[in-house]
Copies of this chain bind each other. A is one copy, B any other.
Amino acid sequence: MINKQVQDMAAALDGLDDGAVILAGGFGDAGVPNDLLHALSGLHLKNLTLVGNGAISERIGHGKLIDSGAVSTYIASFPCAPHAKLFDPGTPTADVALEIVPQGTLAERIRAAGAGIPGFFTKTSAGTPLGEGKETREFSGALHVFETAIKADIALIKAKRADRWGNLVYAKACRNFNPIMAMAAKTTIVQVEEIVELGGIDPELVVTPGIFVDRIVVIETPFTAQDLS
């Protein structure tokens, strides 16, 4: 019988190692796998490359993992919200290497990795500082840059509901990067609020088919930014 549910965080994060490339979902605080990220912070790994849209605070989610010292490179479109204590000179994370990627290019590079496309051209960032040093080509008279897939070892995903095959549905604006990140890693680890019986998710409603999911851990009440206060 296929059953991708694991019993606890330790099992969910088993085998993660120093130097891994990790995709972590979410936008703002919506869809951020905070519980997975916080548990990962506690493993004291080193030299992780973290990929995600951005951190909202050093106290939660992407920011908390970065602040724990585990991350040497952060690939993001909006690395940090204005008031987060991250990356600034004098903070513990001043040495984290930042790679700023336009949000749509970031999404497409991740989707490309999941879809087996090693590289593609896009108009986004052509002629700007973020396009500097990239191969360029004209299409229909407009300058484009060549972008490559971002493949990862691990994807950390948050979804609303799963079944034991790993089919996932999300809540509202909490899809964001999660469905495409689930496609792009060797091992995809998901935190969900509940697991329903097989067949309990309408096949027309599945957003992430189970083929993209490796491990599921149930966190009934996920940690959110509302819990910080």
Chain A residues with a Cβ under 8 A of chain B:
108, 112, 115-123, 139-140, 144, 169-170, 172, 203-205
Flag if A112 contacts B122 (CB, 8 Å). Answer: no
Taken together as a complex, chains A and B put the C-alpha atoms of A123 and B115 apart, in Å, by 11
For A170, what are the chain B residues with a Cβ–Cβ distance below 8 Å?
204
A112 cross-chain contacts in B, Cβ below 8 A:
120
The distance from the CB of A28 to the nearest CB of chain B, in whole angstroms, is 19
Q: Which residue, A203, A204, A205, has most C-beta atoms of chain B within 10 A? A: A204
Q: Could you say which residues of chain B place their CB within 8 Å of the CB of A204?
A: 169-170, 172, 205
CB–CB A108/B119 < 8 A: no
Closest to A175 in B: B204
B123 and A120 form a contact (CB under 8 A) = no
The residue that A108 contacts in the complex, of B117, B169, B203, with Cβ under 8 A, is B117
Smallest Cβ-Cβ distance to A123: which chain B residue: B116
Q: 8 A–B contact pairs at CB < 8 A?
A: A112-B120, A116-B123, A118-B139, A118-B140, A119-B120, A120-B120, A170-B204, A172-B203
B119 touches A139 (CB 8 A): yes
Using CB atoms, name the residue of chain B closest to A160.
Answer: B204
- Which residues from B are CB-within-8-Å of A203? 172
Query: In the complex, what distance in Å separates the CA atom of A203 from the CA atom of B121?
Result: 31
When the two chains form their complex, are residues A119 and B121 in contact, meaning their CB atoms are under 8 A apart?
A: yes
B residues within 8 A CB of A108?
Answer: 115, 117
Residue in B115, B117, B144, B172 whose beta carbon sits within 8 Å of that of A118 in the complex:
B144
In order of increasing CB-CB distance, the 3 nearest A-B pairs are: A118-B139, A120-B120, A117-B120
- Report Cα–Cα, A23/B121, bound state, in Å: 23
19 additional contacts, CB 8 Å, given A119-B121, A172-B203, A205-B205? Answer: A108-B115, A108-B117, A112-B120, A116-B122, A116-B123, A117-B120, A117-B121, A117-B122, A118-B121, A118-B139, A118-B140, A118-B144, A119-B120, A119-B139, A120-B120, A120-B121, A169-B204, A170-B204, A204-B205
